[in-house]
Amino acid sequence: MQPYQPLVQPTIDSFKPTAPPPKKLTILYYNDIHGKPRKMPHYVTAFNQLAQQAQADGSQVIRLSGGDNHIGKSEKDWEVELQQMNLMGLDSTAYGNHESDLGIHNFVVGEQHIDPRFPTLISNVTLPPQNELWNLVKVGDVSLQPRLMKYPAGPNQPALNVGLIGVTTPDLHTVKMLESDLQGMQEFNLDKTIAVVQQQIDALKRAGAQAVILESHMGYDKEAELAKRTQGLTAIVGGHSHDELWGMTLKDPSHQYHGANKPNMVLGTDGKPVYIVQAGHAGKLIGQLQLTLGPDNTVAEVDNTMLPVAGFPRDPRADAVLDKAYGHAKQVATFTRAVDNTRIMYEPNPVAQFMADAMRQETGADIGLFRSSIARDNIEAGPFYDHQLGTLFPFKDELVVVKATGQQILEALNISAKESVQRHDPHPSLLQTSKNLRITMDEKLGKVTKAMWQNPQGQWEPLNASKTYTVAADDYMVSNKKEFTPLVLPIATHMGKGIKQVFLETVQKKGPPNTPITLMLDDRLTIKADPSAATPVPLPDLHKLTTLVQRTYGTPSANPFVTALG
């Protein structure tokens, strides 16, 4: 016999209706990966595992890119990257300036060959009738209109409608070398972009959007300005300025902007917050912005996290795509130390110094000058493979020699000091020298205060303003009238080989592929710090974060049903 149980009297609370589950939205994002297909298998795993975990926690999930998925390498690379983005389950992407590095024609051909399962959103441009992007607009692979994502209700997830808008940089033409690459496409200025975005926000709200996300490749400053001058945006997934916006504010840990804060929570014209996120560049990080919406669809809770992509295992399907396209990797060198090239555009760097020396030795020039923006990937300690050459040096820069006066060289170095040391703008990047040219830059003044050249007799002497020197450089630098203009000079000698080949041949001269090579900084470049600048704040410990990621995550998930608006 069961023991007697007293009767439990119902209370008033027993008759209350069960509260609906909260409306949660997780935005998984990355930006400015700059065409690194060999890193993308990590992203495939990261996107799918983080999506599964968020959905299990009752959140709807959207997967976005802030643009510059590609960089000017080859048509094959673009097609491989599109296949990887399909495996990532990407929902849409902004159009970055590097998307047209190979020209609109090759961008379109690559998309037609692969048939991406996500659109590129680009609302702030006009296309003439002959522009081949219309071929993608017709089939929905490119959209000039916003998009409404309709997430159906799940076991612990309420239905949710999310609006998406995409914009490219308003300075698209100024960062393109060839006008013909764009086939007459014209981008809007910032004011017109803001007006168009507001119109599209309003259209999405009328269509039932409960949250509106802007995918932008405008850079942080313009994204913050847009957020302040619009209303109805929930968040901006940004790109172009390569910011690592940890948490919900940035205190400039890498001293990029002289200690100025770059808040990623900005109030719109309605007084409501707009959350701005970016995940750096070069395939290092994946971002996770988690939002909980209140009854009136305002954000009640927010959390922004970034995780190192290398902490996620490689997806075997993605690796199979790589092997089919490129074949198995071959080792070409062994490096004893890792080199982080994240700050190569702004700081002295051993890869840049190595290349300036290699260019000078290859040509026999008096001076070697290396444009830091050529190198776009890190070097890990251990084996270095042939496929990494294309991610380390993605551009088709050719080695050349020009004749320049000491005055022209000094003027170019002053541009480097002003733009890269004082303002820390990535265009132009830091101009790094061969070891026989020692220079001192003053960060506060933004100029070179001392330049000493070692002559063939081994003696050090001031760089002579009136003397003509032979300079090893790359063909882009001496032909591009937007960066180091004093060195835009006739080419005296075209060496017939690319910067990538110079790097490969130089490491091969050191011995077999297993020969240890150590890349280290020396004292050829001294930067006198600005004493008024803020003390740098250390970045999070990526090793600890990587370990945490490796202990945590699980398997892929399906994409939501989506519809196009407009």
The fourth-level CATH superfamily of domain 331-528 is 5'-Nucleotidase, C-terminal domain (3.90.780.10)
Q: What is the pLDDT of residue 48?
A: 98
Q: What is the pLDDT of residue 380?
A: 85
Q: What is the pLDDT of residues 80-121, one digit of tens each?
A: 999 999 999 999 999 999 998 889 999 999 999 999 999 999
Portions of the chain given CATH number 3.60.21.10: 23-316
Portions of the chain given CATH number 3.90.780.10: 331-528
Q: What is the pLDDT of residue 457?
A: 96
Least confident of 185-189, 376-380, 445-449: 376-380
Q: Domain 23-316: which topology?
A: Purple Acid Phosphatase; chain A, domain 2 (3.60.21)
Mean pLDDT for the chain overall: 87
Q: What is the pLDDT of residue 282?
A: 82
Q: What is the pLDDT of residue 7?
A: 47
Least confident of 10-14, 326-330, 503-507: 10-14
| Structure tokens that stand for 146 in this block | 């916003």
Average pLDDT over residues 518-528: 93
- CB count, 10 Å around CB of 257? 19
User: pTM score > 0.85 for this model?
Assistant: no
1 has a pLDDT exceeding 70 = no
179 has a pLDDT exceeding 80 = no
Helices (H), 207-349: 220-228, 316-326
Average pLDDT over residues 29-35: 93
Q: What is the pLDDT of residues 213-266, one digit of tens each?
A: 999 999 999 999 999 999 999 999 999 988 888 776 544 344 343 334 578 888
291 has a pLDDT exceeding 80 = yes
- Write the CA distances from 89 to 34, 84, 155, 215, 312, integer angstroms: 19, 9, 22, 16, 16
Q: What is the pLDDT of residue 563?
A: 45
Burial of residue 396 (CB within 10 Å: 0-12, 13-18, 19+) is: middle
535 has a pLDDT exceeding 60 = no
SS3 313: coil
Q: What is the pLDDT of residue 542?
A: 44
User: DSSP of 151-185, one letter per residue?
Assistant: EPPBTTB--EEEEEEEE--TTTGGG-S-GGGGTT-
204 has a pLDDT exceeding 50 = yes
Report the C-alpha gap between 432 and 437 in whole angstroms.
9
Share of the chain above pLDDT 90, in %: 66
Q: What is the pLDDT of residue 418?
A: 85
Report the C-alpha gap between 416 and 428 in whole angstroms.
7
The listed range with the strongest mean pLDDT (41-55, 296-310, 434-448) is 41-55
What is the band of 531 on the pLDDT scale with cuts at 50, 70, 90?
low
Share of the chain above pLDDT 70, in %: 85
Q: Higher confidence at residue 542 or residue 114?
A: 114
345 has a pLDDT exceeding 60 = yes
